[in-house]
């Protein structure tokens, strides 16, 4: 009886393995096809897998968060106006962005350590309209291990890094546009780039905040080691502009009475007047 049971278990395991093999083969084939597509346009596989999230202000003072682009293919480029190779490729990035018109693709050009006036002037002079978050401290570049610019990352609909390109590139060639259209198509059909996304339920957002004590600092990034841009007095009212998780805790982006805009830890402020 024991021998017969062992034989039955072995047969069952073989049947289960046989049934699962096509699924594994299909998944591996899908991953390989994506890698092959990216290699065909000179993008290599990144050393990291998950794309580090960030929240940065653009030159207009609008908060740009990577997580808000979930469900889209994202071309994330690190650049600066003084970088010749960066300037060389940016018109093609604009053309790529216009080719999709916001349909399934987002182009984000993270500017390195320059101010809003410089970036705005450059974008207007060159007729560029894609989003340009300002990494004024270089912290986000550090998250992505950027050692030279330009460098570009391709991020899939699930927030995973799928390709990287060091140096300039023509992003508007028929080959590149064709590959991006195919990747977006696979995402929309539920392939490798398009698993379902679970969003957290909406919660009431405070209309105003109040500092809990004197000396609370307002920082340039949601990180206790980032630059201090202001200090608050006890009971000072603040206008919340956003709320994110960073460095293991929640942070509010706020505007203080002094006009300073930056980040405070959620535990350092009190919520008042919740909006309905």
Set out the domains of the chain in order of their start, with CATH numbers: 41-188 (3.40.30.10), 206-274 (2.30.30.40)
Q: Please give the pLDDT value at position 153.
A: 98
| Nearby residues of 47 by Cβ (< 8 Å), 6 or more positions away | 145
Q: What share of the chain is helix, strand, coil (3-state, %, to 5)?
A: 35, 30, 35
pLDDT category at 260 given cuts 50, 70, 90 is confident
Query: Mean per-residue pLDDT for 180-205?
Result: 54
Residue 46 pLDDT more than 50? yes
| Secondary structure (3-state) at 208 | strand
For the stretch 134-152, pLDDT in tens is 999 999 999 999 989 999 9
For the stretch 77-117, pLDDT in tens is 999 999 999 999 999 999 999 998 878 999 999 999 999 99
**In this predicted model, which residue has the larger pLDDT, 19 or 92?**
92
**In this predicted model, which residue has the larger pLDDT, 207 or 119?**
119
Whole-number mean pLDDT of the chain? Answer: 81
What's the pTM? 0.61
């Amino acid at each position: 009886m024991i021998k017969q049971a062992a034989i039955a278990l072995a047969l069952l395991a073989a049947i289960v393995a046989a049934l699962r093999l096509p699924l594994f083969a299909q998944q591996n084939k899908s991953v390989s096809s994506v890698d092959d597509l990216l290699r065909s346009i000179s993008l290599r596989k990144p050393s990291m897998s998950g794309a580090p999230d960030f929240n940065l202000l653009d030159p207009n003072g609008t908060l740009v968060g990577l997580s808000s682009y979930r469900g889209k293919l994202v071309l994330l480029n690190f650049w600066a106006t003084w970088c010749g190779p960066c300037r060389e490729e940016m018109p093609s990035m604009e053309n790529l962005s216009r080719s999709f018109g916001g349909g399934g693709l987002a182009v984000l050009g993270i500017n390195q350590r320059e101010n809003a006036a410089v970036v705005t002037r450059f974008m207007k002079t060159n007729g560029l309209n894609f989003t340009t978050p300002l990494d004024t401290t270089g912290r986000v570049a550090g998250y992505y291990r950027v050692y030279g610019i330009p460098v570009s990352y391709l991020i899939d609909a699930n927030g995973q890094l799928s390709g990287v390109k060091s140096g300039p590139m023509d992003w508007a060639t028929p080959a590149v546009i064709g590959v991006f259209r195919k990747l977006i198509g696979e995402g929309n059909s539920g392939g490798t780039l398009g698993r379902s996304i679970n969003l957290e339920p909406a919660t009431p957002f405070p209309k105003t905040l109040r500092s809990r004590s004197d000396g609370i600092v307002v920082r340039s990034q949601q990180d206790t080691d980032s630059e201090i841009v202001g200090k608050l007095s006890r009971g000072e009212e603040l206008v919340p502009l956003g709320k994110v998780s960073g460095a293991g805790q929640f942070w509010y982006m706020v505007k203080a009475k002094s006009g300073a805009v930056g980040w405070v830890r959620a535990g350092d402020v009190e919520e008042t007047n919740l909006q309905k």
